[in-house]
Amino acid sequence: MLNAGKKNVVGILMDAVDYEAAVDFVVRAAHERRGAAISALAVHGVMTGVLDREHKFRLNRFDLLTPDGQPVRWALNLMYKAGLRDRVYGPNLTLKLCARAALESLPIYFYGGTPQMLAALRKSLEYRFPGIQIAGMEPSRFRCLTLAEKSDLVRRIRNSGASMLFVGLGCPRQEVFAYEFRDLLHMPILAVGAAFPFIAGHVPQAPHWMQNLGLEWAFRLAAEPRRLWRRYVYLNPAYAFLAAAQALGLRHFTTEGQSPSAEVLFG
């Protein structure tokens, strides 16, 4: 198990952890009924914090930010000699946690996506992990919640008996959700994004060789060019430039952000 703590990667405090350490952290929080905000961040997720000081403030107060993308893992290894042999990929982390939840009788809750996606996700998880306890599944409203809706959602999740909550609202909405709900729910909240459609079988995953070489972005861009081209054409080169400047000592990145002026209440 490897956990080398938080490290500054272009101003975002990433955790140099492996799967075992990440799973252990979440499971312990679930057993202790302790609120925690966790996200698996790839380049896009890191850059949302770089470009938005309020979001940087949120991310740098997360309990755990795992290196979802290979370029983030490479930066941790290059700049801090973290010794990470693999990234901590959101879909795989989700599956590992579902396996532990089934083994240890920890009920889980899913929030986000569409009703059709959640139905397929349930079918996939129940097939993979017999005995898994899914305390609830609720689709996204694809808009901001009212205060009353937020209170009702908190009540439903609490009353479900869930021990951990998986959120799939897309980046950065899911991270905003985890940040704002952490102190309201006594359980770990995991922002895992593409894990929902990948595990449900609604979106194909890149071959392992492409994932290992850090080329998953090319596969996803080819699959969804109209939705993802701006993310990869602009943000990937920007991240590479900034990470190189930090590694070479040409630029220092502050981890300070700006406290959010108001809640966003994504749902």
Q: State the pairing for strand pair 164-168/36-41.
A: unpaired
Q: What is the mean pLDDT of residues 30-52?
A: 96
Per-residue tokens: 228:
């993802």
Percent of the chain having pLDDT more than 90?
73
Look up tokens 């994504």; give the residue: 266
Residue 255 lies in a domain: no
Whether residue 234 has pLDDT greater than 80: no
Would you state the torsion angle of the CA atoms of residues 193, 199, 204, 206, taken in this order, to the nearest 10 degrees?
70
C-alpha–C-alpha distance, residues 88 and 35, integer Å: 21
Angle between helices 19-31 and 90-103 (to 10 degrees): 50
pLDDT at 266: 64
One-letter amino acid for residue 170 of the chain: G
pLDDT at 232: 67
Whether residue 205 has pLDDT greater than 80: no
Question: Running DSSP on this structure, what letter comes out for residue 169?
Answer: S
Residue 238 lies in a domain: no
pLDDT in tens, 169-199: 988 999 999 999 999 999 999 999 789 998 9
DSSP β-bridge partners for residue 264: none
Per-residue tokens: 167:
């959120």
Please check whether residue 192 is in contact with residue 168, taking contact to mean a CB–CB distance below 8 angstroms: yes
> Which is more confidently placed, 143 or 190?
190
Cis omega (within 30 of 0) for bond into 130: no
Per-residue tokens: 119:
């139905």
Q: What is the mean pLDDT of residues 4-10?
A: 96
pLDDT in tens, 87-138: 999 999 999 999 999 999 999 999 999 999 999 999 999 999 999 999 999 9
Pick from 186-200, 213-227, 244-258: least confident: 213-227
Please check whether residue 149 is in contact with residue 177, taking contact to mean a CB–CB distance below 8 angstroms: no
Residue 22 lies in a domain: yes
Range of the domain at 48: 3-200
Q: What is the mean pLDDT of residues 130-147?
A: 91
pLDDT at 136: 96
pLDDT in tens, 50-89: 999 999 999 999 999 999 999 999 999 999 999 999 999 9
Edge-to-edge strand list for the sheet holding 64-67: 64-67, 36-41, 188-191, 164-168, 108-112, 134-138
The number of distinct structural domains making up the chain is 1
Q: How far is CA 208 from CA 42, 69, 202, 205, in A?
A: 16, 13, 18, 9
Residue 19 lies in a domain: yes
Residue 239 lies in a domain: no
**pLDDT tier, 226 (very low <50, low <70, confident <90, very high otherwise):** confident
Residue 171 lies in a domain: yes
| CATH of residue 79 | 3.40.50
For the chain, helix (H) and strand (E) counts, in that order, are 13, 8
Q: What is the mean pLDDT of the chain?
A: 91
pLDDT at 164: 98
Residue 221 lies in a domain: no
Per-residue tokens: 206:
């890149």
Residue 226 lies in a domain: no
pLDDT at 218: 66
pLDDT at 267: 61
Per-residue tokens: 171:
């980046």
C-alpha–C-alpha distance, residues 8 and 25, integer Å: 20
